[in-house]
Every structure is written in C-alpha cells, then in structure tokens.
Amino acid sequence: PRLLSFNLNMNSGGLDLSFSESVMVATLTVSQITFQNFQNVVAAGSSGIQVTLSSGSIRTTTANGPTCSISLGRDDLNRLKNAKFIASNATNTYLSISSSTIRDMTLIQVVSIPSTSGLLVAIYTGDTTGPHLLSFLSNLDTGALTLNFDEPIAILSLNISNSLHLISQQSS
C-alpha cells in the first residue's frame, strides 16, 4: 500500500491517512509517523524541523479499510503547536513514514515516504481555539504567579495588566 494523502486538524488533533488499498489498522505504529516543515527536510539543513509522534497518539479507526484516523496525544499536539514553522499552515506541513508504519490485509508493509520527499498535507485546519487556564499557583512571599494552560502559549502575547483581579474573602 501507499499513503496517498493526509489531513491534519490542529484544533481537534485529528490526523486522517488515506491509502491506495485497505490496511490492517491493528498494525499501525504511530511512532513511525513524522511531521516535517519541508518536503526535503535534509536539503533544508538547519531550517528543517521534524516532530515524530509518540505512543501517546492513538488510532481511532477500528475497521480495516483504505483510511485510518489517529487522535494526536496531548504531548504530540503540543509539541507541534510549540515548534515554530511546522504544522502552522498548509505550506509547512509534510509527512514522512517508515515502511513499518502499517501493513495491508496480506501483511505487506506500506511504501515508505522518506524525509527527503515528504508528502504535503491535503486538507489543513489551523488551531483557532484559544488556550484555557487549567490552574494557577501564587506565592505571596515572592510575588510569583504561575499559570498552567492546556496548550503552549506565546508568552509575549500574555497581557494580565487589565485582566487580573485578586479577590480576598475574609471570615468574620
């Protein structure tokens, strides 16, 4: 089988793979999938960026067929969002895979896509969902305020001067 195309949704973390024939989804090894910012990441030299998926990303397709859907794990999605100049638009989102990524119904390995000829994303959906504050910690002795968000943030865009309100509840 050959990987013909892929779609990436940076909002939901969905990765959809389309193959030339039916594949056995149980043979999928997500750690063999790598995102890169250029078609030929080797020729790009120091400008080339790669992010390989971890086992935290899981397949969501259960039926064998020519398509396979993957839900990127939080760590993988955040690594993509945190890396500059990769998977931030349709022109810098390429995929390379090893032949060990998945097999067809007769257990033949997929044709690899090396990092020297990455496959460009077919449909790209950007991240339009803002970060959510998960928790915070304040230290009144040092005056430090630690904010924990659900995804990476651009620290220079953080403006709390007009948004931070401290409320004290006194007991009688």
Give the burial string for 114-152 (b: 16+ CB within 10 Å, else e): ebeebbebeebeebeeeeeeeeeeeeeeeeeeeeeeeee
**pTM higher than the cut 0.75:** yes
Q: Token pair 């030929």 is at which residue?
A: 40
What is the rounded CA–CA span in Å between residue 114 and residue 56? 23
Q: Token pair 């839900």 is at which residue?
A: 71
Question: Is the predicted pLDDT of residue 56 greater than 60, yes or no?
Answer: yes
Question: Is the predicted pLDDT of residue 134 greater than 60, yes or no?
Answer: yes
Question: Is the predicted pLDDT of residue 172 greater than 60, yes or no?
Answer: no
- pLDDT number for residue 144: 76
- pLDDT number for residue 162: 64
- pLDDT number for residue 138: 77
What is the rounded CA–CA span in Å between residue 67 and residue 24? 10
Query: What is the average pLDDT value for the chain, to the nearest integer?
Result: 87
Cα 77-54-38 angle, rounded to 5 deg: 65
Q: In the numeric block, which tokens belong to residue 57? A: 């990303």
